[in-house]
């Protein structure tokens, strides 16, 4: 946690309180802060700032001198369409995409998504993973997360309205290299080159997309791109691709 | 596994054999291949190619028509100096850096590396994680991995000889943005801009480097750079930073 996010209901400047056992444990055991220490905090959906620890009990931390005057960082204006991954990696993927500032995450069914993944109890804990990602990435604005259990109807009926600019599919076996794709995007000057980007990025589960899925996505205007001869884990690919627009 | 890597001792073209229980299980349960199927293989330290499954038993797979005529992809000519992380994330970090093609990985002690991390039995299994990374990233050449338990002597005595071009430290609180740093690098033309990169990248453990470590690294010529206001998990930062030069 690089900041402690609190709901608006626990903030009444210049005071606030922390009730979450996870946050209290982090403050005690990881940050090792005591009364009088300054803490980085944020209001969920609001600003970032600082507060001073006024009082601590095992179940509650009282804060004073609450200052919330820093806007959260700009979001990455991208919709990520992610084939629902193994539950084991779902938490880290949601955390990472949230920390990277992704606006909208769509978890979608795919040929290589096992049916059991949709029954995972972790799908009920997405808000928790988002909170972890926000506190990691020092952001206060949660991404929107939607679940789409039916691939074809989603791609045919809903995907086109999400693409206002351009859409790509991460596909190790595409002939079009990501760098070539970027060169095709309209660029006005070198300094603005980094701003040019697709607004939809489709990333497969382990094993990637099958040909039928690639075809259906391409029919709606997506372009399949490879990121070189090396094939990365889904988590690594998400960070490599989205990270391009972070730095 | 996007390819099955075999030691030279198990390859005698046009034949080869697979004895590793992990690889045999992957071929049976994930790839679901049978006799007659073509398999992507590679020789550890050698070329990549294909082979046809000739015979399968629970403990051995015989291959025929072994063709190893594709060189492994170019390595990423970078030394990563990584503060030894929690054992839990060590495996994925080694896998990811290997899959990304990093040449040389130095695991180093740091203020925020707990002493117990150096006692982890996972440190005895680095070769296994490297093999996983190579089979993920479709590469055959393992990175060199060194362990450095003493930060100061390493930085003062050995680091300078590793920096032939330029070195950076990932540091969320640096004033120098990664993009500004890249612009400072000599660039001859836009098309070659991506080739310019530091040859040493220092990445901290959870909580990052402490000021003393940053100072010592900077004294040897490293530049501390931030990758924006968002602070990423070590794994995510590794992929974001190194991924820049992949695509």
Question: In the structure encoding, which two tokens stand for residue B88, read together?
Answer: 């839990």
**Contact of A22 with A125, CB cutoff 8 Å:** no
Residues B38 and B104 in one domain: no
CATH number at A127 reads: 3.40.1280.10
Q: How far is CA B116 from the centre of its chain?
A: 23
Domain finish residue from B41, B70, B99: B70
Interface membership of A189 toward B (CB under 8 Å): no
Residues A65 and A83 in one domain: no
Model pLDDT, residue A188: 55
Residues B150 and B218 in one domain: yes
Measured between beta carbons, the chain A residues lying within 8 angstroms of B95 are 233
Q: Count how many Cα atoms sit within 13 Å of the Cα of residue A112 in the half-sphere of its side chain.
A: 19
Q: What is d(CA B226, CA B178) in angstroms, rounded to the nearest whole number?
A: 6
Q: What is d(CA B229, CA A74) in angstroms, rounded to the nearest whole number?
A: 9
- To the nearest 10°, the Cα dihedral for B84, A92, B233, B203? 50
Backbone angles phi, psi at A152, to 5 degrees: -60, -50
Residues A62 and A83 in one domain: no
Q: Which residue range forms the structural domain that includes residue B233? A: 76-243
**Contact of A83 with A214, CB cutoff 8 Å:** no
Residues A47 and A84 in one domain: no
Contact flag B100-A230 (C-beta cutoff 8 Å): yes
Chain B 9-68, residues with CB within 8 Å of chain A CB atoms = none
Residues A208 and A105 in one domain: yes
- Please give, rounded to a whole number of angstroms, the shortest distance from the CA of A14 to a CA of chain B: 25
Q: What is the pTM of this model?
A: 0.92
Contact flag B230-A194 (C-beta cutoff 8 Å): no
Q: What is d(CA B154, CA B161) in angstroms, rounded to the nearest whole number?
A: 11
Run of H or E residues at B241: helix B234-243
Residues B16 and B136 in one domain: no
Residues B60 and B8 in one domain: yes
Measured between beta carbons, the chain A residues lying within 8 angstroms of B241 are 243, 247
Model pLDDT, residue B195: 52
Residues A229 and A157 in one domain: yes
Start-end of H helices in A101-229: 126-137, 151-153, 159-162, 178-184, 211-219
CATH number at A51 reads: 2.40.240.20
Measured between beta carbons, the chain B residues lying within 8 angstroms of A73 are 228-230
Model pLDDT, residue A187: 60
Domain finish residue from B16, B51, B70: B70
Mutate to test the interface with A, among B97, B232, B238, B242 (most CBs of A within 10 A): B232
Run of H or E residues at B49: strand B48-57
Is 80 exceeded by the pLDDT of residue A196? Answer: no
Interface membership of B76 toward A (CB under 8 Å): no
Query: What is the pLDDT confidence band of residue A193, given thresholds at 50, 70 and 90?
Result: very low
DSSP state at residue B13: T
Q: How many CB atoms lie within 10 A of CB B155?
A: 20
Measured between beta carbons, the chain B residues lying within 8 angstroms of A194 are 179
Mean pLDDT of chain A: 92
As a residue count, chain A comes to 247
- Candidate from A172, A228, A236 with C-beta closest to B239: A236
Interface membership of B241 toward A (CB under 8 Å): yes
Contact flag B179-A190 (C-beta cutoff 8 Å): no
Residues A61 and A168 in one domain: no
Q: What is d(CA A32, CA B246) in angstroms, rounded to the nearest whole number?
A: 39
Interface membership of B227 toward A (CB under 8 Å): yes
Which ipTM score applies to this complex?
A: 0.91
Residues B45 and B130 in one domain: no
Q: What is d(CA A157, CA B104) in angstroms, rounded to the nearest whole number?
A: 48
SS3 of A103, please?
strand
pLDDT (tens place) for every residue of chain B, 247 residues total: 999 999 999 999 999 999 999 999 999 999 999 999 999 999 999 999 999 999 999 999 999 999 999 999 999 999 999 999 999 899 999 999 999 999 999 999 999 999 999 999 999 999 999 999 999 999 999 999 999 999 999 999 999 999 988 899 999 889 999 888 888 876 655 454 445 788 999 999 888 899 999 999 999 999 999 988 999 999 999 999 999 888 7
DSSP state at residue A47: -
Split into its structural domains, chain A has a count of 2
Task: Name which residue leads in pLDDT, A244 or A150.
Answer: A150
Interface membership of A203 toward B (CB under 8 Å): no
**Contact of A14 with A66, CB cutoff 8 Å:** yes
- Please give, rounded to a whole number of angstroms, the shortest distance from the CA of A232 to a CA of chain B: 6
**Contact of A187 with A88, CB cutoff 8 Å:** no
- Which residues, including other chains, have CB under 8 Å from residue B240's CB and lie 6 or more apart? A239, A240, A243, A246, A247, B227, B232
Interface membership of B137 toward A (CB under 8 Å): yes
**Contact of A95 with A141, CB cutoff 8 Å:** no
Residues B174 and B66 in one domain: no
Q: What is d(CA A55, CA A64) in angstroms, rounded to the nearest whole number?
A: 9
Model pLDDT, residue B197: 81
Mutate to test the interface with A, among B235, B240, B241, B242 (most CBs of A within 10 A): B240
Interface membership of B97 toward A (CB under 8 Å): no
Domain finish residue from A54, A70, A86: A70
Measured between beta carbons, the chain B residues lying within 8 angstroms of A247 are 177-179, 227-228, 240-241, 244
**Contact of B25 with B47, CB cutoff 8 Å:** no
Is 90 exceeded by the pLDDT of residue A191? Answer: no
Closest residue by Cα to residue A230 from A177, A183, A184: A177
Q: What percent of chain A has pLDDT over 90?
A: 81
SS3 of B230, please?
coil
Q: How many CB atoms lie within 10 A of CB A212?
A: 11
Interface membership of B228 toward A (CB under 8 Å): yes
Query: What is the pLDDT confidence band of residue A246, given thresholds at 50, 70 and 90?
Result: confident
């Amino acid at each position: 946690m690089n900041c402690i996010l609190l709901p608006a209901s626990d903030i009444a400047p210049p005071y606030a309180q922390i009730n979450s056992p996870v946050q209290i444990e982090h403050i005690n055991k990881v940050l090792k802060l005591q009364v009088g220490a300054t803490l980085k905090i944020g209001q969920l959906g609001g600003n970032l700032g600082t507060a001073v620890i006024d009082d601590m009990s095992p179940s509650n931390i009282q804060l004073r001198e609450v200052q919330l005057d820093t806007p959260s960082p700009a979001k990455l204006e991208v919709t990520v369409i992610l084939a629902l991954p193994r539950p084991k990696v779902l938490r880290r993927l949601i955390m990472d995409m949230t920390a990277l500032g992704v606006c909208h995450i769509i978890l979608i069914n795919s040929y290589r998504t096992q049916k059991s993944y949709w029954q995972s109890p972790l799908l009920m804990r997405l808000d928790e993973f988002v909170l972890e990602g926000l506190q990691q990435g020092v952001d206060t604005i949660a991404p929107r997360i939607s679940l789409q259990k039916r691939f074809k109807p989603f791609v045919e009926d809903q995907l086109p309205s999400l693409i206002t600019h351009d859409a790509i599919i991460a596909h190790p076996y595409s002939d079009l290299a990501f760098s070539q794709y970027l060169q095709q995007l309209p660029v006005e000057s070198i300094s603005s080159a980094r701003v040019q980007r697709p607004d939809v990025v489709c990333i497969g589960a382990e094993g990637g997309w099958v040909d039928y899925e690639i075809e259906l996505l391409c029919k709606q205007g997506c372009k399949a791109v490879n990121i070189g001869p090396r094939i990365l884990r889904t988590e690594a690919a998400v960070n490599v691709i989205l990270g391009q627009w972070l730095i």
